[in-house]
Amino acid sequence: MIYRTAGTIDQAMKASATGGNKATHTMKVLEEYAIECSIAKVFGSEVLDYTVDEAVQIYGGYGFHEDYPVARGYRDSRVNRIFEGTNEINRMLIIQMLMKRALAGTLPLMAAGAKLQEEILSGSAGDDSADGQWAEEDRIVRGAKKVFLLAAGAAIQKYRDRLTDQQEIIGALADIVLEIYAMESALLRAQKGVAARSKDSSGAIAAAARVLLQDGAARIEASARTALAAAVEGDMLRTQLAVLRRMIKREPADTIGLRRTVADAVINANGYPFEGR
């Protein structure tokens, strides 16, 4: 999902250098990446916390012991959710910035929302199909984006300009955005890694992406249910939840087996197995 206009940061910085006030232009260019920065900050710090917490668990009682490295990792990790803008504030910023760009027309979210409404009315929402070895994964990511539009649309319709006061709903919407960004990034990286090595998509990098997509889709479904239930009620809620289920439906996958494939790759590499991919 791209949240800015186009081009690389390098191209944008070069373009800005020709402007009158370089500092103002530079700030404007960097602002283009503000949403991605917030996403990376929140997702990265929470994945780190999860990872280091699991590491302490693997060490057992030694995980608490300063003679072993994970105790320090655990202690150092926690602050990342607080400084550089707490994760709660960054979650709010993600949605505020998205809405601002949607209203200004720099992000075509309104058009995408209107198209989705047409699909829902015609009964075709969630009927996406695709071909190829990544068909299921592509479909999950496309469905997840529609889920965001569905949940955000319902929240905007109910609260309009008072949505900023509904911080729990904004938090749930931000969680959906975070997951989509992570899912799409992991999928693109896996596709690139597999294509570069002319391999089929049964290896560890693909397995890692598939786990993230399966687990992410489940988390997206839960966040969307929370947001929808706060925005609509009664029969309308039941209808919206049925649409949600169709949009995020996915083939069951053996995530235990997929995780074992990733674990084998880590053991064989004796470290991070996806370097340079």
Ligand X SMILES: Cc1cc2nc3c(=O)[nH]c(=O)nc-3n(C[C@H](O)[C@H](O)[C@H](O)COP(=O)(O)OP(=O)(O)OC[C@H]3O[C@@H](n4cnc5c(N)ncnc54)[C@H](O)[C@@H]3O)c2cc1C
What's the CA gap between 121 and 20, in Å, rounded? 50
Question: Number of residues in contact with ligand X, rule: CB under 6 A?
Answer: 7
Planar angle of CA 239, 243, 246, nearest 5 degrees: 140
Helix (H, G, I), strand (E, B) or coil at 166: coil
| Chain residue whose CB lies nearest ligand X | 86
- Whether 179 is a known active-site residue: answer no
Residue closer to ligand X by CB (options 140, 170) is 170
CB of 174 to ligand X, least distance (A): 11
Instruction: List all residues 6 or more positions away from 21 whose beta carbon is below 8 Å from its beta carbon.
Output: none
Spell out a b/e string for 16-46, using b for 16 or more CB atoms within 10 Å of the CB, else e: beeeeeeeebeeebeebebbbbbbbbbbebe
Residue closer to ligand X by CB (options 15, 89) is 89
CB of 181 to ligand X, least distance (A): 20
- Select which of 32, 36, 46, 84 is catalytic: 84
Q: Which of 80, 117, 167, 185 binds ligand X (CB under 6 A)?
A: 167
| Using rule CB under 6 A, residue 166 touches ligand X | no
What's the CA gap between 64 and 57, in Å, rounded? 9
Q: Which of residues 58-97 bind ligand X (CB under 6 A)?
A: 79, 82-83, 86, 88-89
- Catalytically annotated residues: 84
Residues within the interface to ligand X (CB under 6 A): 79, 82-83, 86, 88-89, 167
